[in-house]
Amino acid sequence: MNNYIPVNTPLLGGNEKKYINECIDTGWVSSEGPFVEKFEEELSSRVGQEYGVSVSNGTAALEIAVEALGIGSGDEVILPSHTIISCAQAITKSGATPVLVDSQMDTWNMDLSQIKSKITSKTKAIMIVHLYSFPVDVSPIVEMARKHNLFIIEDAAQMLGQTYKGLPCGSFGDISTFSFYPNKQITTGEGGMCVTSNVELYQKCRELRNLCFQEGGKRFHHNRIGWNYRMTNMQAALGVAQLERLDHHVIRKKEIGNMYYDLLSKNNNFTLMKPKCSHSDNIYWVVGVMLTKLSKHKAKYYIDQLSKVGIGSRPFFYPMHLQCVFKEQGMFKGEVYPVAEHMYDYGFYIPSGLGISNEQVKSVSRELLKLF
């Protein structure tokens, strides 16, 4: 389909080819090349943390963060039910227990009012997951974490370049994590990063992503189990080039989102997140559509109809408490999170990648409005 508008198209308009060619010309294509360290230093500095540890993807970053914080059997970690499975999976793989909270319809982020009642003597951490448009309201969570001596894992995968009350997302976690999948503000194809200002956690993350080789010790001697989750120099080269254009990418994201908002927000069959909230602008990682009671169908119907006219779209995340893989393990029995369930049934997002043109935004808007 020649005129197909995908849900995401990355923007590769800077020094990507130049830096990739430099990797090829010098032979530094593995994880030991100079772009890796450069990318780690520049990204961690950008988000207000001291250290960065690049990894193979965002899921790897979450798994390393959980392990580096010593979270394991008998521990509990609080997180939203409405999120990608990588978050809960990192917890269950460690032997710990994910403890869920619902979301708020006005932000699509985790419901802070439910966190306090979920804290027990077993709670080890709160996992903040910023989703879609706005960052989580971080201040109350930081206060709770300090009061109860809990770690904060900040999943900022969708929020690179976003701020909360003027401070960069990614700056609030004991360990914060990023993803550089092609639908993010910057991409390395696949890739991720852990950032922290704690030197001991930094060293643990470095070891865990590299099979726990004893750094500075005997070669092939290991004192714990880790993973091969390294990022290559070629991926990091892409990341450095992309990071040079992050400010431009954030501006473009907001342009796309605000254009959609102007074209679609007056329709009563669905709602879109507003351009601003009390603590930040909308970064429009994706442009989400939430159906109202006036719409005749659930999200899947409209996703299918848009596909028929050559427009890609995606449903919102399927809640963790409904995931078959967790149900089979006897988890979350009897737990109900109505907002998370509603968001999956009635929410979806439309093409809003950095590479979309203004004309394509208008075309998507016209086709969506026709469905109502």
- The one-letter amino acid code at 30 reads S
Is 3 inside any structural domain? no
- 36 and 129 in one domain? yes
User: Residue 363 belongs to what domain range?
Assistant: 246-370
Task: Look up the pTM and report it.
Answer: 0.96
Angle between helices 85-93 and 58-68 (to 10 degrees): 40
Question: What is the spatial distance between Cα 178 and Cα 153, in angstroms, rounded to a whole number?
Answer: 11
- The one-digit pLDDT tens for each residue of the chain (372 residues) are 568 999 999 999 999 999 999 999 999 999 999 999 999 999 999 999 999 999 999 999 999 999 999 999 999 999 999 999 999 999 999 999 999 999 999 999 999 999 999 999 999 999 999 999 999 999 999 999 999 999 999 999 999 999 999 999 999 999 999 999 999 999 999 999 999 999 999 999 999 999 998 777 778 888 889 999 999 999 999 999 999 999 999 999 999 999 999 999 999 999 999 999 999 999 999 999 999 999 999 999 999 999 999 999 999 999 999 999 999 999 999 999 999 999 999 999 999 999 999 999 999 999 999 999
Is 10 inside any structural domain? no
Question: What is the spatial distance between Cα 252 and Cα 205, in angstroms, rounded to a whole number?
Answer: 33
Q: Tokens for 312?
A: 């890609």
- The one-letter amino acid code at 277 reads C
Please provide the distance, in angstroms rounded to a whole number, between the alpha carbons at the two ends of the chain: 24
Helical H segments across 14-57, by residue range: 16-26, 34-46
Residue that finishes a domain, picked among 216, 244, 272: 244
Residue that finishes a domain, picked among 229, 244, 259: 244
Nearest to 289 by CA among 353, 347, 372, 367: 347
Question: What is the spatial distance between Cα 86 and Cα 20, in angstroms, rounded to a whole number?
Answer: 29
